[in-house]
Structure formats: C-alpha cells, structure tokens
C-alpha cells in the first residue's frame, strides 16, 4: 500500500481531533516499553479512541480502506487463497471474495512492497486484490486462531499405516508446523526416536518401530543426496519443501546412523535489531556499531543467535553508498544489495577474506573467527579502513579479549582494532496467549533486587506484575512461544585500551568497564523479566543465577 503521509501519523490523528496530544504521549510511553507495537495498535489497545473511527482515519492517511476485522469477518477460508505461512510472514489475511476480487486485510504497518507481493501472488491465480487495513494485533489474533485449528501431520498414524516416504515427509512437515529449528532422528536399542528442538529446547515427538530404521535411513539419504552404502558421517541437503533449505548431517552411533535436520527458512525476513531485544537507544546503537577502521565481535555459545544479530546489524547498516561483503558458512539468509560468499569444502574463511580485501569493501561480515590466521587478517582489515563484523565462541563480551589473546593476536592489535564486543543469550518468551498474571513472591523480589542493586539499580515492585507460563495449543502446551535476546555491550574506551595494551587481566578490565556503565548479561535479563517478556525460572535456566 502506498504510504504518502507528510506528517507523523500521531500528528495526523491529533489534527483530525480523534486523539489529544496527551493520548499520543500515553501511547508513546507504552511504546517505549513495548517497542514491537505500532502507534495505531497502541491507541487501540489502550482504548484511547473509538476503534472503528481510528482505523478508518489511519486507512485514509495510508491510502487504504480501514476496517475492524475479527474471526467473524471471515467469509472465505484464507488458506484457499494464501498459505498461513504467507499470511503470517506478510501479516495479512484474505477475508471475502466478490467474483474474482479477493478482499485482503493488511496490518496498518504494512508497506507498499508487501501489498504488491500479495497482489502478484493472487494475479497468478487469476484473482484481483482489493486492499484493506486493520490493526496488526487483530490480524495476529485471527491467524493464531487459524493456526491452532490447522491439522498437522500425525506421525503416529503415519507410522502405523503409511509408507516410509509418507512417514519421513510427515516427520519433516510436523517439524515445520511446530516451528522446530532442528529435527533429531535417532536410532536407539529397541526403537527410533524423533525429537524437535523448539525455541532452543528438545522435545520428544514420536517413537518408531526398530524394523523401520533402515528404510528411514535409506529415504533420508536418498532425498539428502548422500551415498547410500557409505556409513561414515555425511552432510547433505533437502530441497523438496517450499520456502525451506534443510541441511542434513548423519553420524553413526552404536545403534545405527543418527540424522539431524536443520530447518533453514529461505528468504526469511530479517528482524529489526530492537525487535530481537537489543537494549538501549538508537543513538547508543549508532555509537557502538556505525564505525570504520575497527572490528565488532558478537560472542556467545553455539545456538545463541549470533548470526541473527549479525544479519540485523548488517540490515541496519546497509545502504547503496557502501560496499558490503559477507563470508559465511553457509549463507543462511540472502539479502539484496550484499555480496555474499559461501565457504565451500575447498575454501577457508582466511582465504576468502584475503580475496575480499581486494574487492574494495567498506564493511565485511565474517561468519566466525576460528583461528589465528583468520583473526590476524580480520585485524589487518580493521586497521586499513574497513569495518569488520564477526562472531567468536566465548562466554561474555570481556572474555573476547582473552580468546583473541589465546589465538595469538597481540595486545596492541586488539586494543587498536576491537571497538565493540557484544555477548548474548536467548531466553524463551512467555506465551502471550496463555500467560497468567500474578504478584511477585518475596523470594523473587529479593533475587531481582539483590542482583540489580549490585549494579547500581533499584526496583519498585509496587506496580509490577509477573507471569506464570501456563501452556495452550498455540505454544504446544509449553507456556513459551518464540525467544528474545538478552545482551551486554562492551564499548572499548581509551581507558580500556590502555589496560589491554599493558596486558592487564580481564578481571582488571571488567572492574574498569563496570566503572564506565558496562552492564553484564544478567542486568538485561532482569529488565526482560520486569518488562514481562520472560520469567525468572527461564532466565535462571540460561544463566544459573540461583
């Protein structure tokens, strides 16, 4: 939809006498605590204006028809026109049809590019799109309801009556439906076990009779382009499923060959860095990351979202005026305007980086610093006018310094080139559909207060609530749905550079950093609890705080 407004939407609504400046202030205050919500949604959530009049006015401002929509508005099955995956991706829903004209409702935050993409998809089916907008929260509610009603493949029934082809297909499709990042298919002594990793946790989904083991292994090898007779560890790829590139790894164990399938969504939308949970303001973000002649390193254990954060930062920094090159293993998300290089079996990060330096880059994304050679070339790139973004495996942002030292990088090179190091973890978000509000217990208050007071912060619990993870159909009865990052950011100041050059220990560096307002992971974790994103139990599971 064409966004042609000349003034901010809040100003437009005040001019139309739908809300007051005081209402806008309340909405902006709410938005600071809930940055994922758009202004129109917030005014609706806080009931600061009549919903119908509000969405009609927003529609006029954005150049579309504004309507209030709910599940009763559906006159057709949306899935007959667009897949639920597409509806969720573009935050839209087909809700009525007249002849060959399909009425499609978009969130009020949708862009013209999104509407154009859906318009083309429907045109390919011989249908014309009639465009409407509504509040994003209402569309989310409808899609959640449809998702919970959608029938997912039944592995157990397929196990009993279907063919091996149908069984393997059911295992993969069920993993996709359940938002799994990985599928584990494991031979055991008397059966095969299927487990899904969802939001970082493994859950057992099904157990399959042992006699089907060889047939399942044969099918997986066939569709992954692996050698059938070879029983050593192999890597393959499944390309049979729309929108998914599935990486496959096999590894023999004492009971047979175990397979792990990594589900990578093609062309997945890159999340805004603040939507990932990044703390601080945009000014602080620019101060830490918009640099030249330096290196920024993201540090965390495997599976903690380092690559996602890198993509978000690249997306934030990307513009036609700079040449950005990425070196990755593999390229997981393709981004227009970037030169993306995938490391193959016969190439290395260090070799690819040498070549890239001759390609006049401004910004280089290096998937991982793994060894001294790669680290030294990355340092050289940072010292010769480039900005390098990379990752490293270590426990926190200060230990990045030790990790580089152990790789053999000199203290002088670290101090002169490392500008920012970031550490992160992922915690599960409490499911918004079933969470149950309650008061903090005295024990919880004591734990949170004690930790935050250690870093100079105080908490007033008088108006604060926490939540219990209950469980519902939307979250597979887990109580959590999706994940959010907790972060710590260490800006390497001149004082810290002096300590690094002198070879001081990370204990001394940490002490000085704390004097300069450095906040460790646990502080951001506590803020995520106080803002209602997660629970103390979930944070403790990640950081072991009590």
DSSP 4-64: --SS-HHHHHHHTTSS-HHHHHHHHHHHHH-TTS-HHHHHHHTT-S-HHHHHHHHHHHHTS
Give the SS3 label for residue 126: coil
For residues 379 and 399, what is the distance between their CA atoms, to the nearest angstrom?
17
pLDDT at position 484 is 95
Within 8 A by CB and 6+ apart from 474, the residues are 144, 147, 148, 431, 433, 434, 481
pLDDT at position 331 is 79
Judge whether 187 and 162 are in contact, CB under 8 Å: no
Local structure of residue 73 (DSSP, 8 states): G
pTM above 0.75, yes or no: no
Local structure of residue 393 (DSSP, 8 states): -
Q: What residues in the chain have per-residue pLDDT under 50?
A: 1-6, 150-152
For residues 94 and 74, what is the distance between their CA atoms, to the nearest angstrom?
8
- Token pair 């609890």 is found at 529
Judge whether 481 and 433 are in contact, CB under 8 Å: yes
Structure tokens that stand for 451 in this block: 């930790």
pLDDT at position 161 is 57
> What's the start-to-end Cα distance of the chain, in Å?
50
pLDDT at position 3 is 39
Within 8 A by CB and 6+ apart from 345, the residues are none
pLDDT at position 344 is 75
Per DSSP, the chain holds a count of helices (H) and strands (E) of: 21, 19
Burial class (CB in 10 A: 0-12, 13-18, 19+), 351: middle
Judge whether 419 and 296 are in contact, CB under 8 Å: yes
pLDDT at position 152 is 47
pLDDT at position 238 is 94
Structure tokens that stand for 331 in this block: 């390229």
Geometric angle at alpha carbon 87, from 86 and 92, rounded to 5°: 135
Please give the domain boundaries of the chain with CATH numbers for all domains.
9-148 (3.30.300.160), 155-265 (3.30.450.90), 282-426+483-519 (3.40.50.300)
């Amino acid at each position: 939809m064409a966004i042609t407004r000349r003034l901010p939407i809040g100003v437009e609504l005040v001019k139309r006498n739908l809300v007051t400046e005081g209402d806008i202030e309340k909405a902006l205050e709410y938005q600071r605590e809930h940055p994922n919500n758009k202004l129109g949604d917030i005014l609706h959530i806080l009931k600061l204006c009549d919903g119908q009049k509000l969405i009609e006015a927003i529609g006029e401002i954005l150049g579309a028809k504004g309507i209030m929509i709910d599940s009763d508005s559906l006159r057709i099955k949306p899935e007959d026109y667009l897949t639920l995956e597409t509806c969720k991706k573009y935050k839209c829903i087909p809700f009525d049809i007249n002849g060959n004209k399909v009425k499609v409702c978009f969130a009020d935050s949708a862009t013209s590019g999104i509407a154009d993409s859906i318009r083309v998809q429907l045109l390919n089916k011989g249908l014309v799109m009639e465009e409407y907008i509504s509040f994003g929260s209402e569309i989310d509610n409808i899609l959640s309801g449809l998702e919970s009603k959608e029938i997912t493949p039944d592995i157990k029934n397929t196990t009993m009556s279907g063919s091996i082809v149908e069984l393997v297909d059911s295992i993969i499709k069920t993993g996709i439906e359940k938002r799994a990042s990985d599928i584990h298919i494991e031979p055991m002594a008397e059966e095969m076990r299927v487990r899904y990793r969802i939001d970082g946790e493994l859950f057992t989904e099904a157990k399959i009779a042992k006699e089907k083991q060889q047939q399942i292994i044969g099918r997986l090898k066939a569709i992954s382009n692996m050698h059938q007779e070879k029983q050593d560890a192999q890597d393959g790829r499944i390309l049979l499923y729309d929108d998914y590139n599935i990486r496959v790894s096999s590894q023999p164990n004492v009971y047979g060959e175990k397979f792990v399938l990594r589900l990578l969504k093609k062309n997945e939308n890159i999340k805004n860095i603040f939507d990932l949970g990044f703390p601080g303001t945009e000014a602080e973000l620019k101060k830490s990351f918009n640099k030249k002649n330096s290196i920024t390193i993201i540090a965390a254990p495997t599976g903690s979202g380092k690559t996602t954060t890198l993509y978000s930062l690249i997306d934030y920094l990307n513009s036609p005026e700079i040449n950005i090159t990425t070196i990755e293993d593999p390229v997981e998300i393709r981004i227009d305007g970037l030169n993306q290089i995938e490391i193959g079996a016969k190439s290395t990060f260090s070799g690819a980086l040498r070549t890239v330096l001759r390609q006049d880059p401004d910004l280089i994304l290096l998937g991982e610093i793994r060894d001294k050679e790669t680290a030294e070339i990355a340092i050289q790139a940072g010292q010769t006018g480039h900005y390098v973004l990379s990752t490293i495996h270590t426990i926190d942002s200060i230990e990045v310094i030790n990790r580089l030292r152990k790789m053999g990088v000199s203290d002088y090179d670290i101090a002169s080139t490392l500008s920012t190091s970031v550490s992160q973890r992922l915690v599960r978000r409490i499911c918004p559909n079933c969470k149950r509000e309650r008061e903090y217990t005295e024990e919880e208050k004591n734990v949170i207060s004690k930790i935050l007071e250690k870093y100079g912060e105080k908490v007033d619990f008088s108006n604060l609530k926490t939540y219990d993870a209950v469980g519902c159909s939307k979250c597979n009865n887990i109580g959590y749905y999706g994940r959010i990052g907790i972060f710590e950011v260490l800006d390497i100041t001149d004082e810290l550079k002096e300590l690094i050059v002198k070879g001081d220990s990370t204990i001394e560096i940490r002490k000085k950093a704390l004097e300069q307002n450095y906040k460790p992971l646990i502080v951001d974790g506590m803020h995520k609890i106080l803002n209602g994103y997660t629970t103390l139990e979930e944070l403790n599971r990640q950081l072991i705080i009590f």
